[in-house]
Amino acid sequence: MPSYEFKLPDMGEGIAEGQVLKWLVSEGDIVKEDQPLIEVMTDKVNVEIPSPRTGRVAKIVAKVGEVISVDQVLVIFEVENVESVSIEHNQIKPEPTQTAKFTRQDIQSKVLATPATRKLAGELGVDIQSLVGTGQEDRVTDEDVRKASGNFATSKTIAAASGTENSHDKQTEVVPLIGIRKTVAERMARSAHTAAHVTHVDEADVTELVLLRNGLNSRTSEEGKNVKLTFLPFIVRALVSALKEFPYVNSMIDDQKQEIALKKYYNIGIATDTDQGLVVPVIRNVDRKSIFDLAIEIEDLAERARTGNLSLDEVHDSTFTLTNIGSIGGLSSTPLVNYPEVAILGIQRIVKKPVVRNESIVVRDMMNLSLSFDHRAIDGAYAARFLNRVIDAIQNPAKLAEKVV
């Protein structure tokens, strides 16, 4: 029976490699065309790749934990008619039905662990899904894997065993710079070395916004609606009117063409902290969506970002990025622009402060905002006026909650 080598397909979006997370089939299995075959972690999202056709799995070439490049052989099939295999299977760009079918860390059935720990589990023959983690948020650690395998050598004793230890080796664990973490590193370095970064910081009185949000949540709860509003949907709505008034903030720089492209659509990227690193799912056409529409979509995208269940289409084509640092803490920040965009807004935590109103000291809910921008496209005064417009909308939030018609 003829054999067919199936290679890692070109998935588009500049993805050049991926790490094998899990094989969904075993050697000797008979698989059908389009049957889920392998889970791969790319630098943007996790992808479930289907079988190119019906056949028997003769040999699995790419091992769990291995980083593989596009056009590198994944698996060898025994097939009825190798000539009938379409070349397009090695040039596919997975549609949503071919991606986001799995979650790398499904909260019901899969554990939390870094790629390095998963690779170690594969090397030691440990089923990582059967382990109970001892790390933060029940994360499985290298030591958990080694104990399960019967190999109690920890990262602190590896150097000693090799005869190369020193006082620092005993306290060092090496984690490969791969996947999403690698992409974040490359993009941040490119942004820092390309854009002319400036950060403008101001504060907003969000007392009325807090009252409005609390009131709307109470109303939806009484009505039995399963929607809980955070402050992010209001901030996103506030951005829309400001971006329309200041179009250069909603633009991108093309360094090769030496052009600034002013975008006439409004796709907001929401920077999301995940176990794999920073992921930026994109909410499209935010100007056409209500507060509640945005709340539902933000919650859905954030949850799927954290579980590795986003499609490629959901992490590109943003025109402006919003990062919510306040959910963790801090007074101010200098977020890096999500190149080739020209601006990013960081929002800090809301704190009660004594402020002067009508020559009297009163306690108000205040929030700091940090607007980082590329000075090549935006001047300081223009950026300050833009942020003033955002703050004005936040401080007068009634219109933000109006329905979109």
Nearest-angstrom CA–CA distance, 191 and 178:
19
Catalytic residue among 168, 197, 200, 375: 375
Residue whose pair of structure tokens reads 């190798």 in the numeric block: 82
375 part of the active site: yes
Collect all residues with Cβ–Cβ distance below 8 Å to 215 and sequence separation of at least 6.
none
Nearest C-alpha neighbor of 132 from the set 144, 149, 115: 144
Burial of 83 (C-beta count, 10 Å sphere; 0-12/13-18/19+): exposed
The helix (run of H) or strand (run of E) holding residue 76 is strand 73-78
- DSSP letters, 301-316, are HHHHHHTT---GGGGS
> What residue type is 225 in one-letter code?
K
Provide the CA 109 distance to its chain's centre, in angstroms: 21
Nearest-angstrom CA–CA distance, 65 and 40:
9
Which tokens is 385 given? 């006026």
DSSP letter assigned to residue 396 = S
Residues known to be catalytic: 375
